Amino acid sequence: MRRILPLLLVVLLLTGCGSAGMQDVSSFAPAQSERLVIFTSHKEKVYRPVIEEFEYRTGVWVEIETGGTATLLERIAAGESGCDLMFGGGADSLSAYADCFVPYVSPNAADIEPEYASSDGAWTPFSLVPIVLIYNPKLVRQNLPTGWVSLLDESWRGRIAFADPAVSGSSYTALCTLLQVLGGDGETTLAAFYRNLDGRLIADSGDVVTAVADGSCYIGVTLEENACKAIDEGLDVAIVYPAEGTSILPDGAAVVRDCAHEENARRFLDFLLLPETQESLASELGRRSVSADAISALPEITAVPYDFDRALRERQILLKAWHALSGEGET
């Protein structure tokens, strides 16, 4: 029964029950010791099965708030967000806000591939999320995109689906990957890519696939899992694993400093690293496991060294340059 309590509370609130009924809603909620407030940038099809299973196993009542990675992290950094745990966001984004989190190393972390672990325990890896390119196979019959260099091809100008890197953590990772892979003068490459977007930015990273599938854009940059799910659902999307290779970063979760339910937040991190949770990533969520022992049916891809420290160190500089190109100035 406890597994569906948060959903029941939402239903009662949305159906506009009478005042007496609304007053009774609080009786469903457990004691504070059995609650957990999670901010997540994951899409519902990712976070819901994970959180529901956690609730079922532990009896903890989870309250969820969703949004873009950067937006949620900024709320946490501002203080008094009420959040106990951030679930989602790439390792580079979480590391940029490391001061907001309490270091914790789960006892289940022994099986994590060393290169995907946090050096200081500020965040716990959940899954691996390669950046890929996609295109609409019904609309793109020639000059198929092959890799990062294709994003600078002027024939795609105004037809590229790319989310705002100031809002989307995965888009920021993609932008850093593009600059690191193509090399050369970063400012020139950044300007050329922005010019090829022709002023068009997708509001949410999850909408990149939709924009390509419905034909409003021809090619796009997204996470592998989004592309795989779109294909499974029969959408007009094909995947391109960049010929130059691509970044494969972990996304993760982190316990908010001075939160109200720290023990339950730690229990959630322990749950994310359970063998059965990690095994379910590829079979149910289209994601890659951070566990060395997990088996995945997803294809092998070429990983490129991602300069994590540079992405973290130059984050504000890069975003400032991005806003300058858009004419927005600093935000």
Give the bridge partners for 248, in sequence order: 130
* Structural domains present in the chain: 2-128+250-289 (3.40.190.10), 129-247+303-326 (3.40.190.10)
pTM score of the predicted model: 0.77
DSSP symbol at 144: -
Which tokens sit at 47? 């976070």
pLDDT tens-digit readout, 22-63: 344 445 667 888 999 999 999 898 999 999 999 999 999 999
Q: Let me know: does 130 contact 227? Beta carbons within 8 Å.
A: no
Q: Over the range 82-95, which residues count as b (16 or more CB within 10 Å of their CB) and which as e? A: ebbbbbbbbbbbbb
Q: Let me know: does 163 contact 121? Beta carbons within 8 Å.
A: no
pLDDT tens-digit readout, 276-329: 999 888 778 878 999 877 767 678 889 998 888 888 888 999 999 999 998 764
Q: Let me know: does 249 contact 176? Beta carbons within 8 Å.
A: no
- Asked if residue 98 has pLDDT above 90, the reply is yes
Q: Let me know: does 30 contact 40? Beta carbons within 8 Å.
A: no
